[in-house]
């Protein structure tokens, strides 16, 4: 692993250290090399170092387990000292860029939801999600961005991103779907608490009842936000809520749909919301003032049942309708993308992209889950695989998650399907083929119950998922355990729990139910 123009792998890093003028940075570099060597010796067979490269002592130390605790303590001390001392911002940025290159060369390109969000946010910063005129894909796919709209991502960028995405699924060794005991440094940062201790809740933080008497099928925290929450209701409205400062309040209620709102999604920059409704329309909302920017009718004039943003290009939204079709819609033009439609075997109830935006999964009310390859340059959908979860059992929720650390590389899919089970599948190839990994008992036979992966699961041993249930409880499961997987259960709803959502740091959890109640739960502080 070398950087261009650097005589040694850490040459550029140490040059920054000398520029900063702090021996602590050099010590940190040595400690990072120790960690790198230790992880390499545990995870795979390392190549022998050539004599005279000056790293023999480091290699010897890295193989000794007793240095692990000392390393963690010293690393934390150095980070605290340097945080207090402060360093020029330019040098910090240069260090972070170099660190990113080193990690990328060591572990390969990242594809966690957080990294996809960071990639997309770079696009958003250059041009926030706006509804300026954009060249319509239907007119000429080759002319994207040629007229009236400044493109931030070129066709070549999409091709490069696609090559990076393929690395997620190719050359993946078999193993656990969750971080293992080898991830000592990551677990140390997250704390030594067990999953049961970590997901203990202190009680209800707040209860919203503005939609009482009508079901709330969807509740979502804004992206990378601790205190902004939205929920949609079958009364035809969407509520935007603020949890801090106390007391929590409903900032505004978005009205315009003439029938119930079935689903909604935040854009990555949180300035736009897209909603779908049983009135056969989707609407684009400005979250800042609550105004409806655009109303787009369904191409089939059918009830719209679900929606999701394309994670890399938020000008594109995928919707599913009651006439068995999925459509890729360009929200800048209000038109359907050419080649961006496909038919399923039933009413489309659930949609989910993988983090890089290359694979789309769609579930219907006949019990099937389809995978589609998404063309990043044109928005075209290509049907790839079909899995029958259970004939006749509606698939009400699909949630995708990718682990791309060395300890746990397997992308996974979480599915609710009216089987009184929560199903965890492994994604085995780059066409979205699914293999059942594990199932967990819940109550679900008729309601559209949803589930999620916990956002911070990759920092601790084991991994937690959360789901609603028709027994009026919120259930937590550890996906690493084959038996006794239940971690926690929250009681407080008086109707089937339909959806759950964590904020970005897992300090708050929101759950909604079939009676219109939304409960925000506060996690115990450790």
CATH no. for 184-523:
2.130.10.10
Between 135 and 205, name the one with better pLDDT: 205
How many CA atoms within 13 Å lie on the side-chain side of 146?
9
Separation in Å, CA 339 to CA 139, 282, 377, 432: 12, 20, 12, 20
pLDDT tens digits for 86-97?
Answer: 667 777 777 777
Give the pLDDT score at 96. Answer: 77
> Scanning the structure block, which residue is given the tokens 């969407």?
238
What is the full DSSP assignment across 468-485? --TTSEEEEEETT-SSS-
CA distance 363 to 305: 11
- CA–chain centroid gap for 463, Å, is 14
| Separation of CA 363 from chain center | 18
- Report the C-alpha gap between 442 and 524 in whole angstroms: 24
Task: Give strand pairing partners of 466.
Answer: 452, 476
Q: What is the pLDDT of residues 178-204, one digit of tens each?
A: 555 555 555 555 555 677 777 888 789
Specify burial of residue 244 (Cβ count, 10 A radius: 0-12, 13-18, 19+).
exposed
Which own/partner contact pairs does 73-79 have at CB distance under 8 Å and 24+ positions apart? Answer: 74/27, 74/31, 75/28, 75/31, 75/35, 75/185, 78/24, 78/27, 78/28, 78/31, 79/28
Q: Which two three-digit tokens encode residue 19?
A: 């520029």
Letter string b/e over residues 40-72, b meaning 16 or more CB atoms within 10 A of that residue's CB: bebeeeeeeeeeeeebeebbebbeeeebbeebb
What mean pLDDT comes out for the span 161-168? 47
pLDDT at 22: 46
* C-alpha to C-alpha distances, 41 to 29, 60, 472, 504, nearest whole angstrom: 18, 11, 48, 33
Contact 332, 323 (CB under 8 A): no
Q: Each residue of 476-485: pLDDT tens digit?
A: 999 888 888 9
Cβ atoms of 204 and 520 within 8 Å: the answer is yes
Question: For residues 416 and 422, is the Cβ–Cβ distance under 8 A?
Answer: yes
- Laid out side by side, the sheet with 518-523 consists of 201-208, 518-523, 508-513, 497-502
**Per-residue tokens: 348:** 């489309």
Contact 356, 164 (CB under 8 A): yes
Distance, in Å, from the CA atom of 226 to the CA atom of 101, rounded to the nearest integer, reads 30
* Residue 67: predicted pLDDT: 67
Computed over every residue of the chain, the mean pLDDT equals 78
Contacts for 8 with CB less than 8 Å, ≥ 6 apart: 2
Q: Report the alpha-carbon distance of residue 69 to residue 75 in Å, rounded.
A: 10
pLDDT of residue 277: 98
| pLDDT value, residue 103 | 72
pLDDT of the residue at 73: 75
Percentage of the residues of the chain whose pLDDT score is greater than 70: 66
Q: Which residue has the higher pLDDT, 462 or 399?
A: 399
Locate CATH 2.130.10.10 in the chain: 184-523
pLDDT digits (tens, 9 = 90+) for 66-83: 666 777 777 777 777 776
Tell me if 264 sits within 8 A of 220, measured CB to CB: yes
Most confident of the following: 20-34, 68-82, 221-235: 221-235
Question: Using the 8-state DSSP alphabet, how is residue 143 labeled?
Answer: G
pLDDT of residue 348: 98
Q: Classify residue 86 by burial, with Cβ atoms within 10 Å: 0-12, 13-18, 19+.
A: exposed
The pLDDT confidence band at residue 503, using thresholds 50, 70 and 90, is very high
Q: What is the mean pLDDT of residues 487-491?
A: 94
Is the predicted pLDDT of residue 11 greater than 80, yes or no?
no
Cis peptide before 245 (omega within 30 of 0): yes
150: CB partners within 8 A, 6+ apart: 127
Q: Average of pLDDT values for 436-460? A: 88
Q: Check if the beta carbon of residue 420 is closer than 8 Å to that of residue 445.
A: yes
Q: CB atoms < 10 A from the CB of 290, how many?
A: 16
142: left (phi over 0), alpha (psi -120 to 50) or beta: alpha
Tokens 């979480």 -> residue: 414
Dihedral, CA of residue 12, residue 15, residue 16 and residue 19, to nearest 10: -160
340 pLDDT band (50/70/90 cuts)? very high
Is 35 in a helix, a strand, or coil?
A: helix
pLDDT at 309 over 90: yes
Least confident of 20-29, 151-160, 280-289, 458-467: 151-160
Confidence of residue 374 (pLDDT cuts 50, 70, 90): very high
């Amino acid at each position: 692993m070398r950087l261009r123009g650097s005589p040694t792998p850490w040459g550029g890093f140490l040059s920054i250290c000398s520029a900063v003028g702090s021996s602590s940075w050099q010590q940190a570099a040595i400690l990072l090399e120790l960690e790198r060597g230790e992880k390499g010796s545990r995870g795979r067979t390392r190549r022998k170092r050539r004599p005279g490269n000056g790293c023999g002592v480091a290699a010897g130390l890295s193989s000794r387990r007793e240095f692990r605790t000392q390393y963690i303590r010293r690393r934390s001390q150095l980070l605290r000292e340097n945080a207090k001392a402060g360093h020029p911002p330019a040098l910090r940025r240069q260090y972070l860029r170099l660190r990113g290159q080193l990690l990328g060369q060591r572990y390969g390109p990242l594809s966690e939801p957080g990294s996809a969000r960071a990639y997309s946010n770079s696009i958003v910063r250059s041009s926030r999600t706006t509804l300026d005129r954009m060249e319509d894909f239907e007119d000429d796919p080759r002319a994207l961005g040629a007229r009236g709209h400044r493109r931030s991502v070129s066709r070549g960028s999409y091709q490069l991103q696609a090559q990076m995405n393929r690395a997620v699924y190719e050359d993946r060794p078999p193993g656990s779907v969750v971080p293992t005991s080898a991830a000592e440094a990551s677990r140390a940062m997250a704390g030594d608490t067990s999953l049961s201790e970590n997901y203990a809740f202190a009680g209800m933080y707040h209860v919203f009842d503005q939609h009482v008497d009508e079901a709330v099928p969807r509740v979502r925290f804004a992206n990378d936000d601790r205190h902004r929450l939205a929920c949609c209701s079958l009364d035809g409205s969407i509520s935007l809520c603020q949890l801090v400062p106390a007391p929590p309040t409903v900032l505004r209620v978005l009205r315009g749909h003439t029938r119930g709102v079935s689903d909604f999604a935040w854009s990555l920059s949180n300035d736009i919301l897209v909603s779908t409704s049983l009135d056969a329309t989707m609407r684009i909302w400005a979250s800042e003032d609550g105004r409806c920017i655009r109303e787009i009718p369904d191409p089939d004039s059918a009830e719209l049942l679900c929606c999701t943003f394309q994670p890399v290009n938020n000008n594109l939204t995928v919707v599913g309708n009651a006439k068995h079709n999925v459509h890729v819609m360009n929200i800048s033009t209000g038109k359907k993308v050419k080649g961006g439609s496909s038919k399923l075997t039933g009413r489309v109830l659930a949609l989910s992209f993988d983090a890089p935006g290359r694979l789309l999964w769609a579930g219907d009310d006949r019990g099937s889950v389809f995978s589609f390859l998404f063309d990043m340059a044109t928005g075209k959908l290509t049907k790839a695989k079909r899995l029958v979860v259970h004939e006749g059992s509606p698939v009400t929720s699909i949630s995708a998650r990718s682990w791309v650390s060395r300890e746990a590389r397997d992308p996974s899919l979480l599915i609710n399907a009216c089987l009184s089970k929560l199903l965890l599948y492994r994604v085995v190839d780059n066409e979205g083929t699914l293999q059942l990994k594990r199932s967990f008992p819940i109550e679900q036979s008729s309601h559209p119950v949803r589930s999620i992966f916990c956002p911070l699961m990759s920092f601790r041993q084991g991994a937690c998922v959360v789901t609603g249930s028709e027994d009026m409880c919120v259930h937590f499961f550890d996906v690493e355990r084959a038996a006794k997987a239940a971690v926690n259960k929250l009681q407080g709803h008086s109707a089937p729990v339909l959806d759950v959502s964590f904020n970005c740091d897992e300090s708050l959890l929101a759950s909604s139910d079939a009676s219109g109640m939304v409960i925000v739960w506060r996690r115990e502080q450790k």
